Structure formats: structure tokens, C-alpha cells
Amino acid sequence: MKKLYSICFILCFCTNVFAQQDFSAVTNLSGVNKTIYYRITSTEISTVAVTYRGTTMTQYANTYSTYIVIPPFVTQGTGANMITYHVTSVDAGAFNGCTTLDSVVLPSSVTFIDSLAFLGCTKMTKCVLPSTINFIEARAFERCTNLPEIVLPNNITKISRGTFRDCRALTSVTIPNMVNTISEQAFLNCKSLGEVNISSSVTKISNTAFLGCYDLTSINVDTNNPVFMSEDGILYSYSQDTLLFYPPKKIGIEFTTPNAVKNIADYSFSYNLYLKKINFNNSLKKIGTAAFYNSTGLSVVNISDDVNYIGDGAFYNCRNLDTIKITAINPPELENFAFYNVPASLSLLVQCDAVEDYQNSQWGEYFYNIKGYNCTTGGTATPDIEFAQEENIFPNPVKDILIINNEQLAINNVEILDLAGRVVGTNLCVRPNQQDKHIGLPLQGTTTIDVSALPKGIYLVKIITNKSVITKKIIKN
């Protein structure tokens, strides 16, 4: 019996600890009774928070529906036991998952909205916030997918992590004058957001604050801001040494970074579908993590002399990229997945003296079509881009016979190298696939190379023509 009593005591104690709502009250709105649930936040000053029904935010679905107007105060009890409470906050998850809620009006007594407060209110089109609110916690309006606009209170100083994440109908936002921080993922995937205005007080903007805002055409910074500046809708650091964000839907297919820019920030060009060509200025040194992540419209990249670092996933999934030209003699350092899911067959154009260095570096692990540009033969500069348009090597992987289809340029020599750069075959017998069975060099047309004697592995085929030197990566089965 004593043991049973102990168990009952523990269960009752746990229920009190984890109970969320303390009481409910009915509010009549235009003749319709609405039950609102409250949690007492202070007995000393008699304050409450609007909360959800039950003990957890997911215990009851759609606690609130259609429209709700929260009163500034509420009473509990009757007669001499009646207590009047002021409504000063909205609890974490108070309206979580209320998918039939259309609109909410908060009273001027409210100063704080906790995290996840309106998470997943997918039908809500209106939320009126009083000017008295001074803080909105993380992810408060996440996945309010039909909310087209919201007026942020002037007293808030921070837009917290993921506050408007996945608010896909949100079209514009003006950052209040008191805000100094826009946190990570604050507007992540706000796909309809077209323009953002940054006040002079903002001193910190996360690299992921506007990630996935596909319709964003411009970010405009107040000219009195001491940390950031904008030019033509592009966000920079105040000194313009760092390009922070290039709007995904900005008009224009080609862009050249300003001369002052030394760093391309993380995620700065990500999800850009319209930019076709990017030219980096000569003072640029670093391209950040995921800088061009999923920029599927990009086809040409010109990388300047001083670039020495390309970050993790910088060009991840730039699947339509077909030409990269680099003027740097020394191959820039590549972090993991820098060119993941980028065509290995694209034309990587480097200075003639640097071809082998690139082949034997991390760049050679991503690309096999590494070629020299402006190469000199007998004192005459001869670009090798023509050859890239005319030649083809197949099959790849190859087992016995490798075919080189080259109709316009004569091949002078072919070398096969291992990935360490050692020559494993040279002056190979290249046989044109023609009736006369001619054997010799130079050659034009469809030619074949016998690679059957090579061990299985990955090799570089170096083709020396009358105009250029071309290197291709092959797999020997």
C-alpha cells in the first residue's frame, strides 16, 4: 500500500511539473466564443503567457482556428478569489501546428514572443504585432507559408535564427531601425521575398540569413550604416573588400567583381539561376564555402591571379559549368567538394607552363580536360580552344583500344602519364582508322591507340598537336 501511495505521489508530482496550461478563459469575438489557454508566468506581478492546450505543444491538434484576438488582460476565479492577469507574452509553440488559423491579433501588453510560437501555421495570412514587442525568439514564424507580409515592431533589436524560415509567401521586409543583428537562416527559403531594406543600425548579418530567397532582386543598405554598404542591390562590407550577398534574381547574365573585393563570402551567390558568367577581379584572394552552391545557370568562370583558396563546396552542383579559365600559375587550394557534381569534361584553361601542375594537383582529380591557353609555337601565340571543340576521346573507361576523333588538327605525339605525372608511354603507335593503314605521325582524322598493356587504373592522356597540348583523364579497365 505504501509503495502504491509513493507511485501515485510521483505521478501527481510529474503531472504538475510538466503541465503547461494553468487555466483557460473564453473570449467572445463577434458573437463567437473562443477558448484561449494561459500559463501563469508571475504571481507577484500577475502576468500570463498565451499557451497551448494540454501538457505538450503537440498533444492537441489545431488548438486555435480561424481568427484569434488576444485580450490585454484575463481573469481567473470568481468573487474574492478572482485574479486579474496581464497578458505579456506568447509561449513557445503556443500556436504550433494550428493549420486552420487564419489571423492573430496580439494586444499592446505583449512584449515577448517565444520560439516556435507560430510554427507551421500554414493558413495564417495576417499577424498583427504591437509596437511594444521587444524580442521575438528563434523560428517563431517558421513555415507560415501563406503569410504575405508582417510589420516588425520598432523595438526589436534582433531577428533571431530562422524567425521567418520557409515563409514562402513573404514578399518584402523592412528591417526596423533598432535591429542590430540578422541571425542565421532568418529568412531562409522565403522564396517570394523580392527586396530587403537594411537600416543604419544593423551591424551583423549572417551568411545564411537570406539563403534560398530565389526572387530576391536587391538588398538596399542605408548610406549611414557603418558596417555594410550596397551597390546596385549587392551587399558588401563597408570597405567593399568582401562581397557578402548577390541577389539570386538580380538582372544580368555577367558580373565582374569590383576591384576592391578580396573575398567572396560563404553562400554569397548560392541558388543563382540567372548569372551565366563571373569574372573575378585581380585583387581577389578567397572564394568562400558554398559561394556558388547550386548556381545552375553558371557556365563560365574567370579566376584571377591572386586567388589562392576555394572553399568547401564553393561550386557544388554548378552542373552547367563548361569553362573555367585561371590565370594563376600556382593551383589555388581546393577544399572538400569544391567542384562536386560539376562536369569533369569542362574546359579548364590554364597558362601553358602550369598545365602539368594543375593535372597533378587537386584540380586534376576533378577535371581531365586541362589545357594551356595562349601557348607559343615558333613565337606565335595559338589558343587551344579550337581543339576542345573538335576532338573527342572514347571509350572512357577503355579496355583495349582508345579512339581519338580529331578532324582538323594534326597530332604530333601522344603520351600517357600516371596520376603522379610519370610518363608510362610515349611516341605511341597511333593508327588512323583509314583504308591506307598508314602508321605514323603527325595524323589527322580518327586515330586509335592500343592501351591493352596498361594495368587497370586512372591515367592522363597528353595529346600534342600542331597548335596545342591537351590533357584528358581516362580510366583503364
Tell me the per-residue pLDDT of 370-379, one tens digit each, with 9 for 90 and over: 999 877 644 3
Query: Between residues 49 and 382, which one has the greater pLDDT?
Result: 49
CATH number at residue 409: 2.60.40.3080
pTM of the complete model: 0.73
Tell me the per-residue pLDDT of 400-418, one tens digit each, with 9 for 90 and over: 888 777 665 667 778 887 7
Tell me the per-residue pLDDT of 266-292, one tens digit each, with 9 for 90 and over: 999 999 989 999 999 999 999 999 999
Residue 73 DSSP code: E
Residue where a domain terminates, one of 156, 183, 200: 156
SS3 79: helix
Q: Would residue 28 count as lying in a domain?
A: yes
Residue where a domain terminates, one of 156, 174, 204: 156
Q: Would residue 114 count as lying in a domain?
A: yes
Q: Would residue 298 count as lying in a domain?
A: no
**Cis upstream peptide for 71 (omega within 30°):** no
Instruction: Work out the pLDDT band at 59, boundaries 50, 70, 90.
Output: confident
Q: Would residue 186 count as lying in a domain?
A: no
Give yes or no for a contact between 283 and 258, defined as CB atoms under 8 angstroms apart: no
Q: Would residue 88 count as lying in a domain?
A: yes
Strand partners, 84: 75
Q: Would residue 26 count as lying in a domain?
A: yes
Residue where a domain terminates, one of 156, 191, 215: 156
Q: Would residue 129 count as lying in a domain?
A: yes
Q: Is the dihedral of CA 251, 256, 260, 262 positive or negative?
A: positive
Nearest Cα neighbor of 404 from 323, 455, 461, 452 is 461
pLDDT of residue 389: 35
Return all residues near 456 (Cβ < 8 A) that are at least 6 apart: 476, 477
CATH number at residue 126: 3.80.10.10
pLDDT of residue 323: 95
Q: Would residue 84 count as lying in a domain?
A: yes
**Above pLDDT 70, what percent of the chain?**
85
Which residue carries 543604419 as its cell? Answer: 200
Mean pLDDT (the chain) is 85
Q: Which domain holds residue 88?
A: 19-156
Tell me: pLDDT of 429 over 60.
Answer: no
Looking at the structure of the chain, the number of domains it has is: 2
Tell me: pLDDT of 163 over 90.
Answer: yes
Strand partners, 172: 195
